[in-house]
Structure 1
Amino acid sequence: MIRLITEHAQLIDWTDEKPHPLPENLVFLDLLNPSRSEEVEAEQWLEYTLPTREEMQEIEESSRLYSEKGALYMTAWVPVGLETPEPDTSAITFVVSPDTLTTVRYSDPLAFRVLADQVRRQCSTPVSSDAVFLLLVEMIVARIADTLQNIETDLRGVSRDIFAVDPNRADGGKANCDLNEVIKLLGRRNALVANLRECLVSIARMLQYFLNNAAPWMKGELAAQFRSVARDVKSLDDYTNQQTQEMAFLLDSTLGLISIQQNQIIKIFTVASVLFMPPTLIASIYGMNVKLPVAESPLAFLLVMVTVVMSAILPVWYFKKKKLL
């Protein structure tokens, strides 16, 4: 599918009839899941080739950042579906020339939908290829920043849950929370932060490459804005490092609390076995088929029962005195 935006902020959307040939005042050419015929049509109009889906997945920097016939080819990882339970990343290629920005993508990030909505509402829309590129990058970075803020909110909630003190408990113990769910949440957030960091690193490299190679034809005021976005990306990358360390601390703390709970359970069973050992020993002795002292006495049964009860009470008293119960 092909979407077009002209210099006059005219939007030709997916379902609109496309002009043939493509208009000369084209500023933004967006290809979403393009068919082979659409790729050929775009390449004929642009007069240079577009990368295939397999080429976009290459990880070598030379395959992701290069120039050809005066156009800059830049492929970056962009977050997709951040508003869904299963966010992901997708490779998007930006081909920037002095006249036209072309994007090749196989996913639909929010930034592209917002840009189309702005044009439909006739908001102020950039009228140059580098300005459209700047707007898209700004919206992608802002989306990442919002997601990192939401993750930080989740981490604060986890910290409150696992370290909160229950005021209703006389011993001032910790409030109960599902530590298994905490570990699952931390695992999901850690994977998301890792994906966002990968996106930030690729965007930072893309911006640096663009600033180094687009200087001859880029507008001067846009260069300062691109550098500002690059600084934002750097600060967000540092922020992901902080969040990664915070999640590692919370994970270690959660695993420590789980170990403490397991030790408490083992302690209870150990103390219970010790409490029942003396009564069991006495009952075993008097259960043997041999003649024992005072066995002939009428009070023998009562004496044995009193001994069994006292042998159970004395260990309980001792453990409570030592604050082991």
Structure 2
Amino acid sequence: MIFIHQPAAGAGQILLDRRPLDLQDPIPDDTVWLDMIRPTREEDLKVEAFMGIQVPTREEMKDIEPSELLYVEEGARYMTGRVLSKVSDSEDPGLAGITFILRENRLVTVRYEEPQAFRMYTQRAGRTTGNGPSTTTSGETILAGLIEAVIDRAADVLQLQGERIDRLSGKIFEVQDDPSVRNTALQDTLRALGRHGDLISKQRESLVSMERILLSLSATYRTNKAPRELREDVRSTLRDLQSLEEHATFLSTKIQFLLDATLGLVNLEQNNIIKLFSVMAVVFMPPTLIASIYGMNFKAMPELEWHFGYPMAVMMMVVAAVLPYVFFRWKKWL
């Protein structure tokens, strides 16, 4: 599917007009952004013929080498980044590879997922904003707006995860008297920490890939002496992104602390169980010794034919079991 975006004006100032393009229809000359979503080979050839570029395949977009993600070919600049997608309670979060291709005054995006950031940007870019001049009329400004939307979405995700981690932190250190409830809560906490840690890790990876793109754009704009406003926007976006990276690192550190604390509480629960078994072994050790002595049945044993021998042995075993228990309770080991 190919969506084309053209500057348009109406009852107010509309930034971009977005509509799908049929395969048999020609691409208008005033198109500033071609958004390719899960493109077919025929759609690739159509855009390649119009733009004079090579559209990368899905496998090429998965490459992790920087030289394969950021390069210039035949006057077109190719930039591939990772954007977080499927961020919801019912789906596992994933990283979607997105390729941005800049050539002259046009932008081409190639993607196989539907990140929330793209929906946010297209809705905002197609909104009426009064009679002010449009600022989203070139590929460079559209690219800057898309990256800004990705960063805004990343900020929302990190803020939401921070709030969830704070609530989880309170539950971890909450006193629970019921051992079964406490054990179940600790297991649920470990799973939740794993999910939050995975999401934040992927979000940070996405921010790092966007930072590479911004650094590349900054160097290019500085060399080509791009408009000052565009260079300032890139620098400002880069500062915001780096601050989000620091926040993601902080959240990762906090998750690691909570994970260590939870594992420590799990170890304490295990130690309590082992301590209980150890105490029971010590409690029953003296009675076992007494029973072993009087179970040997030697002829010369003085108590063997004594009328009160059996009650005495039972009483000695009871006392030998009670005394260690009382001692442990007095020392507050139980």
TM-score (norm 1): 0.88
Q: Which residue of 2 aligns with 1:88?
A: 94
SS of the counterpart of 2:32? strand
How many angstroms does 1:244 deviate by? 2.0
Taking a change above 3 Å as real, the CA distance of residues 95 and 217 of structure 1, as seen in their structure-2 partners, is: farther
Where does residue 196 of structure 1 map in the other structure? 203
* Structure 1 residues 177 and 154: alpha-carbon distance in aligned structure 2, compared to 1, 3 A threshold: farther
Residues 193-229 of structure 1 show CA distances to partners (whole Å, capped at 9, x for unaligned) of 2211111111011011112224547443232222111
Cα distance change on mapping 1:263 and 1:272 into 2, 3 Å: same
Tell me the residue number matched to 2:149.
Answer: 139
**Could you tell me whether the CA contact under 8 Å between 2:107 and 2:139 is conserved in 1?**
yes
Which residue matches 1:259? Answer: 267
Point out the more displaced range, 122-131 or 253-262.
122-131
Name which of 28, 34, 43 aligns with 1:29: 34
**What is the CA–CA distance in structure 1 between the aligned matches of 2:111 and 2:333, rounded to whole Å?**
64
Contact persistence 2:23–2:43 (CA under 8 A): no
Distance of 2:188 and 2:244 partners within structure 1: 27
Alignment partner of 1:7 is 2:7: yes
Per-residue deviation, 1:30: 0.5
CA-to-partner distance for each residue in 1:169-212, whole Å, 9 max, x for gaps?
9xxxx966622222222222222222111111110110111122
The answer as to whether partners of 1:130 and 1:218 remain within 8 angstroms in 2 is: no
Report the TM-score when normalising by structure 2: 0.86
Q: Tell me, which stretches of 5 or more residues in structure 2 are unaligned?
A: 9-15
CA distance in 2 between partners of 1:287 and 1:61 (Å): 80
Q: Distance in 2 between matches of 1:222 and 1:260?
A: 57
Partner Cα distance (1:256, 1:141) in 2? 36
Determine whether 1:43 maps to 2:57: no
Note the alpha carbon deviations across 1:243-288, whole angstroms, 9 max, x for none: 2222222222222222221111111111111111222222233333
Counterpart Cα distance in 2 of 1:97 and 1:245: 41
Task: Tell me, in whole angstroms, the C-alpha distance in 2 between the residues paired with 1:59 and 1:176.
Answer: 41
- Post-superposition offset of 1:35: 0.9
Q: How does 1:223-302 map to 2 (within 5 A)?
A: 223-291=231-299, 292-302=301-311
Q: 1:87: Cα distance to partner? A: 0.5
Tell me the amino acid that sits aligned with residue 235 of structure 2: R
Find the counterpart in structure 2 of residue 112 from structure 1: 118
Q: What SS class does the counterpart of residue 178 from structure 1 fall into?
A: helix
- Partner residue of 1:99? 105
> Cα offset for 1:112?
2.0
Query: How far has the Cα of 1:99 moved from its partner?
Result: 1.7
CA distance in 2, matches of 1:107, 1:217: 34
In structure 2, what is the Cα distance between the partners aligned to 1:245 and 1:117? 35
| CA distance in 2 between partners of 1:37 and 1:302 (Å) | 97
What SS class does the counterpart of residue 263 from structure 1 fall into? helix
Structure 1 residues 87 and 123: CA distance shift in structure 2, 3 A: farther
Deviation of the 1:17 alpha carbon: 4.4
Distance 1:59 1:301, change over 3 A: closer
Mark the runs of 5 or more structure 1 residues left unpaired by the alignment.
none
User: Does the 8 Å contact 2:221/2:231 carry over to 1?
Assistant: no
Structure 2 match to 1:68: 73
Quote the Cα distance in structure 2 between the aligned partners of 1:91 and 1:48: 19
Report how far residue 295 of structure 1 moved. 4.2
Q: Does 1:155 align with 2:162?
A: no
2:13 corresponds to: none
Q: Write the distance in 1 (CA, Å) between the matches of 2:256 and 2:243.
A: 20
Higher mean displacement: 16-25 or 312-321: 16-25
In 1: Cα distance, 2:200 partner to 2:210 partner: 15
Deviation, 1:147, is: 1.2
* Residue identity matched to 2:175: V
Amino acid aligned to 2:261: S
Task: Find the aligned partners of 1:193 and 1:150 in 2 and give their Cα distance.
Answer: 11
* Conservation of the 8 A alpha-carbon contact between 2:51 and 2:103: no
Query: Are the equivalent residues in 2 in contact too, given 1:98–1:130 (CA < 8 A)?
Result: no
